[in-house]
Structure 1
């Protein structure tokens, strides 16, 4: 079909139809056509063809598009634009000339793109005649219909715009904007904002465009002319009444400028509220999200949902919102922000009651005995550290790297975190963005207990850990020839000779004295120069890591695991069961909780048993809730400890005996009577295969659920109720397995288990 379409130059008329559904915008008048947001659905064949072209084009987008533009470009982030913007906000207040940021609002930018203009741009960029013709097939006589309820409108032709729902459209739109960015960068009448030795013209993310304007009275009219000329060719039209001009310094604020663009005190860019003051930007955005989260959790706290549901709300609703702010604003949050946030989340999780688990234990990974409740501060650290993929890789191009290189000079950006820079007055010298990254790096080194003082990438020059005459080394001749780090002068056999370095790096002979000083300093400061140096323990996350997908999660998990403290419950169980440290396989315990059921509430039952969640008579007695600590099951006068109430009590033990014998009969293997097996799910003493383990876990889940429901008077532990509940759980697991496309062997195991339980009634 695709080859035939390429030969004909178009798809069949019926294949190139888009179905448009209309959604009413919040708070808009439903009688006005402009109040609706159109959503287009294109055919699967057309979408597949576009996806093939998009996959080919994606690999070249970073070469075709300048780093000023980040939308839809692989390994580029919207946070790159905001990071650069923060540097502009930090450096322009002291400028003598009036500076401002112009935020453009386009009128339906995606829908107004002129196709002839697009074909010309693609041709100039050298995409090739054949590839451009294949793109034109997607735009050859397309049509659309609007669906209202169950009725379709008559078909109408589409004559302009990038197609909504098409995988290729984002790339085409980004390419169509590049001529505008190039025109502004090359314009002799446009005055950009300068920071040190860098010039800042424009920042683009799809149709969200920022222009950094210096000398506003002279520059703004020329800029609007450029926009009008570009719009006349491309179809791009600026909505001047909805655009915004933000003054950045006093000279600009004191101007009485007559501008067609409204002058504002703040504006919203990529979901972040931007103020001229960095401090106000941080305070507003972090406090606003904290207020939103607090209000939402207070509202949802009234709902009668389960503990597991509340954990899911935190993971799927609260965490993404906070991570967005953390990823976009790489600055220190307001004082006590994390404390207030954790307090709010904990209050919601426990419905305002006293927490039954330590918050740090809940934050552990499920495979390590936790419930994976997010540690928001560590996620923030991970997002801040993501910038090191740019710092430590000089070949990575971003819009903010040049300005940060100028700020940290004479240090190299890749050496900065290893140069022992004092945090005192760091913000004044290097700015809040860089000082915050350095501060987070120091915190992370403490958290991870990294003690690697010397490593391959330890800088030789401008390093305050390696001094000569109480000053850091500085010798441009060596740096220009490629010597910058200890790894450059220390080989596999240790410190290389001067003759070796001179030959390899073409060093001048008179620098031999520097070599002697360096060797003496290395000896003084304990550099192990008789053996090879290893990399920094954390460096593997960032150095040479061009693939940023999953990077934040990898950093987060590493940081999280370093915060673990020994679980006291493990020692308690080992003492109660009179077992040695290694007799309980705790990794098996945690893994079996995860695999016990697809139902998270069933998993939570096992978690509660392991951590002794339930208030037994002994616990209630010590909490002054009852007058007796004795067991309520039996009349033997035994203390109602957790182990007694859920295992040792004769009535309970009899119930477990029936459960064990029934499961042994169903599985055709002996299931021993052991609290280690039934209470902790440690089946390392059994040789159960995966399907047998699933059935055993289902039976154990039901038994624990019955005990949890009926261990207080009136007691009702009978085998029939257990069997009926087992049938329900097995049928649930069978249905879930079918939905998830489980193997035939697994389905057969569940079906056989259901039949076996049914025959026991």
Structure 2
């Protein structure tokens, strides 16, 4: 165990810093794999308990909690402070080496007080029993030294332990009446945290700030947690300059008059500057990166992957954490920059609707910025529907919209909505997006089964919910709750109530009259859309943004895709959806190599320029086949009908038939688009798909030549494909599957 507890520390120089300074290196700890596996198992065991141990104000590394909860909450509170003219401070605390300063006796005592099992405590103590570290420096022998405090960097259990370590401080701040936060709807909003990034929202600064500093000092003395005052920063809202000078004279905190960096974005003192301050710099950085990458020889598919892996995560984080409306012209400009990068500044050969469509539905999967932004905002609308596990930002926005409930109000038709008591920018932006997309994107029917019964202008009696309180408490909230197998639910509820519920007679009659209207009864029994089903569950599922994005980019029916219509016209056969799904699946999984992935996509989307297209663009260019057969050089002629290409495919089919020991039919859907053949096994169809793909790659490399590729060229392409598949199988430990596909080919000596 002692050797397993030894960590190797690698020093990474900080960008733009003097490498001669010791402080200008960032230490990265490399832990023993066995220890990390044990710690991961412990973290998984502890995870389900964290929501009961840690207050919702802490969202860092907590299951089901995300960074946007704190940034949206902070933006709401800044708006509230300005709209109510409340002098306030937003204080971002900089913890000095936060994870490294946790005192172990204090931490273990907290774990005991949390009621964790003795076996778990024993394992935790074992992980921290005389751990050692050594710094790896080239050319020197590392010398181990003991570690005496802090949670271990790189340990899967560390984030959970630190959250438990910080929780007492959060509780002290919440409980201290001298530290005054925002009181909205009877709830206090003082402190929020993402791991060690703590943001305090304080009113009455003259009282709150000194009291806070006193509590921080006391906590530091017993726990080891220490604030770096010089790096902590204040964003004042409507605080008189004289008061601010007095406060900072006693506590040397940094003051930012307009912006406060927090969780990778900048909170602004003026809500209407939130978009400008954050997005302008981010767009400029992304465009600069695209210009830099454009100089490199990156394949078409590789460029799409660059956008997915590097550009999209940065944009998506802003879409989630900054609750503002986007400037459409800026988004279109950014999308054009992305599109131009993907096409390397050349002519766009695929329609945008196809380009942004998911790969599994016949598109290329290039991110559509508007769709991702809408998906991110709709995901937060889903979070409005959460029940007991709702985030603190949801509680705040419910208080701002009271007496209306946001997760009820949005389902009302516009003419039946009660007036909102707030114009909070984040709330209004979410509502605008919902109203824009609800019907356009088939997210809901009108009226929706989720339409609320109460506080609905179409049901005037329900504008005063008190007479209906018993029905509300019994779960009667929405139109979909009115009927159960054709039985009127309010009557069932009343029948199940004990005697003394005579006061429900009139409310039941009023509800029955409302529910008997034809459109209300029809709406109550309408099947839920996919989005309505998600909202009604009242949870925020994993992968929600991806699910919503998939739906938003799949609205066009597959039959409307242009290349499908052209393929079916050229080959005089209409395929059903299952056939196209098979083709899309085959084109998506042909190889791990991007240059090999490109060919099926280019073929599917009819990438290759033909003589007829060139003649259309330039009248002086002949439209005849390059292979001198005298026919018009259409796409289907160049790939299938030309006598020379027919001989080419005959040779390929002969080799496949020899390898598989049975005749492979001449089917353009199979040889050009890899539609599986009936009567052949899955592995046989895979081999046919890979051989035909290699053959098409060889043809594409001699595309505008009169002669087709020689057999040596084709064999080289097939060998490249086989080697790439073998290397992939070695890495993925799937050699048996590789041999099932390729052994017939190699056994035939081809």
Q: TM-score, normalised by structure 2?
A: 0.93
Which deviates more, 102-111 or 649-658?
Answer: 649-658
| Structure 2 counterpart of 1:541 | 534
What is the CA–CA distance in structure 2 between the aligned matches of 1:90 and 1:743, rounded to whole Å? Answer: 60
TM-aligned CA distance change 1:724 to 1:462, over 3 Å: same
| 1:598 to 2:587 alignment | no
| Structure 2 counterpart of 1:475 | 465
What is the CA–CA distance in structure 2 between the aligned matches of 1:316 and 1:530, rounded to whole Å? Answer: 42
* Aligned pairs (5 A) from 1:687-702: 687-702=679-694
Shift of 1:227: 0.7
- Specify which of 556, 569, 580 is matched with residue 575 of structure 1: 569
- Specify which of 258, 270, 273 is matched with residue 263 of structure 2: 270
Kindly indicate whether the alpha-carbon contact (under 8 Å) linking 2:375 and 2:545 is maintained by their aligned counterparts in 1. yes
What is the CA–CA distance in structure 2 between the aligned matches of 1:460 and 1:425, rounded to whole Å? Answer: 13
| Structure 2 counterpart of 1:753 | 745
Shift of 1:226: 0.8
Shift of 1:560: 2.0
| 1:719 to 2:708 alignment | no
Which deviates more, 290-299 or 397-406?
Answer: 397-406
Instruction: Give the gaps of 5 or more residues in structure 1.
Output: 1-10
| Structure 1 counterpart of 2:615 | 621
Kindly indicate whether the alpha-carbon contact (under 8 Å) linking 1:365 and 1:371 is maintained by their aligned counterparts in 2. yes
| Structure 2 counterpart of 1:5 | none
Shift of 1:31: 1.4
What is the CA–CA distance in structure 2 between the aligned matches of 1:530 and 1:255, rounded to whole Å? Answer: 57
TM-aligned CA distance change 1:426 to 1:725, over 3 Å: farther
Deviations along 1:203-230, one digit per CA (max 9) or x if unpaired, are 1111101111111122211211111111
Question: SS in structure 2 opposite 1:103?
Answer: strand
Deviations along 1:441-474, one digit per CA (max 9) or x if unpaired, are 233322333553345532111124x244xx8632
Kindly indicate whether the alpha-carbon contact (under 8 Å) linking 2:494 and 2:501 is maintained by their aligned counterparts in 1. no
What is the CA–CA distance in structure 2 between the aligned matches of 1:153 and 1:511, rounded to whole Å? Answer: 80
Shift of 1:15: 2.8
| Structure 1 counterpart of 2:551 | 558
Shift of 1:587: 2.2
Shift of 1:282: 2.1
Shift of 1:128: 4.5
Instruction: Give the gaps of 5 or more residues in structure 2.
Output: none
- Specify which of 426, 437, 440 is matched with residue 430 of structure 2: 437
| Structure 2 counterpart of 1:631 | 625
How many residue pairs match? The answer is: 742
* Aligned pairs (5 A) from 1:23-102: 23-102=12-91
| 1:415 to 2:405 alignment | no
TM-aligned CA distance change 1:715 to 1:424, over 3 Å: farther
| Structure 1 counterpart of 2:702 | 710
TM-aligned CA distance change 1:745 to 1:560, over 3 Å: closer
| 1:354 to 2:347 alignment | yes
| Structure 2 counterpart of 1:608 | 602
TM-aligned CA distance change 1:528 to 1:123, over 3 Å: same
Kindly indicate whether the alpha-carbon contact (under 8 Å) linking 2:360 and 2:585 is maintained by their aligned counterparts in 1. yes
Shift of 1:615: 1.3
Which deviates more, 648-657 or 223-232?
Answer: 648-657
Kindly indicate whether the alpha-carbon contact (under 8 Å) linking 1:423 and 1:435 is maintained by their aligned counterparts in 2. no
| Structure 1 counterpart of 2:509 | 516
| Structure 2 counterpart of 1:728 | 720
Shift of 1:332: 1.4
Question: SS in structure 2 opposite 1:67?
Answer: coil
Shift of 1:360: 1.4
Deviations along 1:4-31, one digit per CA (max 9) or x if unpaired, are xxxxxxx4x3232111111111111111
Shift of 1:499: 7.7
* Aligned pairs (5 A) from 1:237-386: 237-249=226-238, 251=240, 255-259=244-248, 260-265=252-257, 266-386=259-379
Question: SS in structure 1 opposite 2:404?
Answer: coil
TM-aligned CA distance change 1:662 to 1:418, over 3 Å: same
| Structure 2 counterpart of 1:4 | none
Deviations along 1:649-703, one digit per CA (max 9) or x if unpaired, are 222221121111122112212122232332232234x422122222212221122
Shift of 1:104: 0.6
What is the CA–CA distance in structure 1 between the aligned matches of 2:404 and 2:241, rounded to whole Å? Answer: 34
| Structure 2 counterpart of 1:161 | 150
TM-aligned CA distance change 1:56 to 1:749, over 3 Å: closer
Kindly indicate whether the alpha-carbon contact (under 8 Å) linking 2:8 and 2:31 is maintained by their aligned counterparts in 1. yes
TM-aligned CA distance change 1:422 to 1:218, over 3 Å: farther
Shift of 1:547: 6.0
Deviations along 1:277-306, one digit per CA (max 9) or x if unpaired, are 222122222222221111111222222221
| 1:452 to 2:455 alignment | no
Which deviates more, 286-295 or 428-437?
Answer: 428-437
Deviations along 1:514-562, one digit per CA (max 9) or x if unpaired, are 4333333344572117985644542222333546322222222222222
